[in-house]
Amino acid sequence: MCGHQYTGDGKGYGVIVNTTPSASNFNADVIVVGAGLAGLVATYEAVRSGLKVLVVDQENRNNLGGQAFWSLGGLFYVNSPEQRMMGVKDSEELAWRDWENTAQYDDAENDYWPRRWGREYVRFAAQEKRDYLKGLGLNVIPTVGWAERGSGDASGHGNSVPRFHLTWGTGPEVVRVFREPIEEFEKEGKVSFLFRHQVDELITEDDANGPRVVGVRGTVLANAPEERGVASNRDKAGEFELRAAAVAVTSGGIGGNLDLVRRTWPEDRWGPAPKDMVQGVPAHVDGRMIEISKKAGARLTNTDRMWHYPEGMQNWDSIWPTHGIRIIPGPSSMWFDAEGKRLPNTIIPGGDNLKGLAHVGRTGHGYSWFVLNKSIVDKEFIFSGSEQNPDLTIKKVKNLLSKVGPGTHPAIRNFMDHGEDWVIADTLGELVDGMNRLVGPDAPQIDVADLRRQIEDRDSQIDNKFSKDYQVNYIRTARGYLGDKIVRCQAPHKLLDESRGPLIAVRLRILTRKTLGGIETDLDGRCLQSDGSPLPGLYAAGEVAGFGGGGMHGKNALEGTFLGGCIHSGKRVGEHLKKYVDTVK
C-alpha cells in the first residue's frame, strides 16, 4: 500500500492507492487511458488548457503513438492548396455531400451524435485541420491521392475528388508533432506516463446527482522489452488504482482481437466472417476498454460497423501475429473471386472498399484474386504502412522520385520474392497452375480457359479510345486527373501483352483494421449513459468512440479520415476537460 488515500472531497485527485509495485504521486487532474494518437492529442490540448495529465498505457514506451505510428499518414483535407495546385476543385459543401452519401446514416437515435460529429469533422477538415497540423510542423506531399473513388453513382459512396494527402514522414511524423511537445510537458512536470499499466475497471462513485467516474483500477504488467508493435506478455506484476477529476478513454478499436471482430461481424451485410483473416493492427488493439466503459455506464452504439479491407496479404516479414499488409491499389488490376469469376463491374480496385469486402464475404471463400502484370504493379501498387514506405517515412526526396520513374519499388520486390500470397509467371497457364497450387486442392480451382477468355475480352477493349468495358473506361477517366496520370494509374494496355510482363496474381485476404462504432459521445466528447445524459467524469476519443459520437463515419468511410478523426475528437476532449475539471475541483 502506498500513495495517499483519495479524500473524496475533490481535493485528492491524482493520487495513487494500492499500487504495487509501481507508484507515482503525480497529482493529475485527468487520467488518459491509451497513449495512441487520440490520447496524445487529448493530452496535448488538456495540458495547454492548464491541466496536469497522467497517461496510462498497457504497452511499453516503445509503442508511444499506437497504431498511428504504423500508418501511412493519409489525411483527408478539403479544398487544400495541394488540391488546388493539382487542378482539383473542392469545397466543404461537396465534401459534406460525399460524406452523407457515403455514411448513409440511419434516421434514428443511433446516428444522432454520429451525424453531428460527421458534420463537424468535415468542417474541421475544410477549415482548420491543415493549419492546425502545419502549425505543429506537419507537411504533406503535393500529389493528392484519390482514395475511395466510389462505384459510379454521384448519389452513392465515394470521394468526388482526390482528398488523400500523404504526410511527408508518414505515421511517425503524425505522432512526432504531438509527442515532442508532450515530452517537453513531461520534463516540466505537467504530464506523466505509466506504461505497462493495463486498465481493467473504471471507478465510479455516486453523489447526489448520480454516478461519476473518478479513476481507474488495473493490472501492472510485467516488464516487456519488446520492440514497437511486437505482442507483449500479459503477466501480472501488481495492481494499481488511480484517481483524478476525469478519465478520458482513448484505447483504440477492436481490429487486433479477431474473436471480437468475428462476434460483431455484420453477417447480414458481409456474409459469414472469414475463418482466415490477416491482422492489420498490432495485438494491443484488443477492444477491452469498450466493454469496461460499458460496465461503468457508458452507452455503446453501432458496434457492428467496421472498416476492414478485402485487399490484404500476409506480411513476409511480420511484426505482430498474422501481420497483414493492405495493398492500396490503382484501378487497373483485374479482380476475380476465388472461383475465377470477375467481380461485378462497379467493384473497381480502390473504388468502394466495403462493397468489395461484402462481395468477397458473400462468396463464402474469404479471399479473392488480383490478376495484373509487372507494369501495373510498378505504377499502381502502394502498401499501407510506414515501414513499407521508407522513402516517405525517412523523408528522402531522391528515393521518393524513384517511385515515379520506371522499376519495381523495393517493398514490392520483397513481396514478389517472399510473399506467400504472390504468384508470378510468364504465361497464363503457369500463373493459373501457381494460383491453384497456392490455395490447394480443397479450395476452388481456377479454370485457365475461362480466365483467359475473360482477360482476352477485356483486352479486346483496348484498341479504341472508347470501349464497352466499365473498368477500362474508368482507367481512362482516372488518368484525366494529373496525380493519377503521374504516379498512380498505368496507361490502358493489354494485360496479356508479353512486353508488360511477367504476369502476377495476388491472393487477397480480408485484413482487419478500423472500428467505426463504439462509445457514444456528445460533441464535447463526454460519454453518454443509457438515458442519453453525459456520464460525469468520463470522456472518449479516437477509434474507441467511433472517432466521435460512436460512429461519425456512418456505414462507410472516405479514407484518410481516421488519423484526422483521432486528432479532431482528441482535440475536442482535451479542450473541454478543463471546463469539467473546474466544476468539480
Ligand X SMILES: Cc1cc2nc3c(=O)[nH]c(=O)nc-3n(C[C@H](O)[C@H](O)[C@H](O)COP(=O)(O)OP(=O)(O)OC[C@H]3O[C@@H](n4cnc5c(N)ncnc54)[C@H](O)[C@@H]3O)c2cc1C
CB of 282 to ligand X, least distance (A): 7
CB of 286 to ligand X, least distance (A): 6
Q: Are 375 and 493 in contact (CB under 8 A)?
A: yes
Q: How far is CA 124 from the centre of its chain?
A: 18
Of the ranges 207-215, 248-256, 351-359, 549-557, which one interacts with ligand X (CB under 6 A)?
248-256
Q: Does residue 159 touch ligand X according to CB under 6 A?
A: no
Say how many C-beta atoms besides its own lie within 10 A of residue 35's C-beta. Answer: 27
Binding mask 464-493 for ligand X (x = CB under 6 A): ------------------------------
Binding mask 71-110 for ligand X (x = CB under 6 A): xxxx------------------------------------
Q: Does residue 284 touch ligand X according to CB under 6 A?
A: yes
**In this structure, which amino acid lies at residue 226?**
E
Q: Are 493 and 501 in contact (CB under 8 A)?
A: no
CB of 20 to ligand X, least distance (A): 17
Nearest to 376 by CA among 509, 507, 503, 508: 503
Of the ranges 92-100, 278-286, 436-444, 449-457, which one interacts with ligand X (CB under 6 A)?
278-286
Which residue's CB atom is positioned nearest to ligand X?
36
Strand, coil or helix: what is 454? Answer: helix
Cβ closest to ligand X, residue 161 vs residue 285: 285
Distance between CA 104 and CA 301 in Å, rounded?
Answer: 16
- 258 exposed, middle or buried (CB, 10 Å; 0-12, 13-18, 19+)? middle
The widest CA-to-CA distance across the chain, in whole angstroms, is: 81
Among 138, 244, 281, 577, binds ligand X (CB under 6 A): 281
Instruction: Give bridge partners of residue 213 from the DSSP assignment.
Output: 204
Q: Which residues contact 7 (CB under 8 A, 6 or more apart)?
A: none
CB of 22 to ligand X, least distance (A): 14
Q: Are 347 and 355 in contact (CB under 8 A)?
A: yes
Strand, coil or helix: what is 503? Answer: strand
Applying the rule CB under 6 A, the residues between 54 and 73 that interact with ligand X are 56-59, 63, 66-68, 70-73
Q: Does residue 285 touch ligand X according to CB under 6 A?
A: yes
Site size toward ligand X (CB under 6 A) is 42
CB of 569 to ligand X, least distance (A): 8
Distance between CA 566 and CA 324 in Å, rounded?
Answer: 23
- How far lies 437's CA from each of 301, 402, 430, in Å? 44, 34, 11
Of the ranges 250-258, 359-367, 475-483, 530-538, which one interacts with ligand X (CB under 6 A)?
250-258
Of the ranges 96-104, 276-284, 400-408, 502-510, which one interacts with ligand X (CB under 6 A)?
276-284
Among 145, 280, 356, 483, binds ligand X (CB under 6 A): 280
Applying the rule CB under 6 A, the residues between 536 and 565 that interact with ligand X are 542-543, 560-564
CB of 104 to ligand X, least distance (A): 20
Distance between CA 165 and CA 141 in Å, rounded?
Answer: 7
CB of 436 to ligand X, least distance (A): 31
How does 294-321 read in b/e, with b if 16+ C-beta sit within 10 Å?
A: bebbbbbbbbebbbbbbbbbbbbeebbe
Distance between CA 170 and CA 74 in Å, rounded?
Answer: 8
The CA R_g of the chain, rounded to the nearest whole Å, is 24
CB of 200 to ligand X, least distance (A): 7
Among 42, 199, 360, 372, binds ligand X (CB under 6 A): 199
Nearest to 228 by CA among 383, 68, 410, 41: 68
Among 19, 43, 60, 198, binds ligand X (CB under 6 A): 198
Of the ranges 20-28, 29-37, 298-306, 503-511, which one interacts with ligand X (CB under 6 A)?
29-37
Q: Does residue 312 touch ligand X according to CB under 6 A?
A: no
CB of 387 to ligand X, least distance (A): 9
Nearest to 573 by CA among 1, 30, 23: 30
Q: Packing angle between helix 112-127 and helix 92-103, nearest 10 degrees?
A: 150
Residue ranges binding ligand X (CB under 6 A): 33-39, 56-59, 63, 66-68, 70-74, 198-199, 250-252, 280-281, 284-285, 288-289, 384-385, 514, 542-543, 560-564, 566
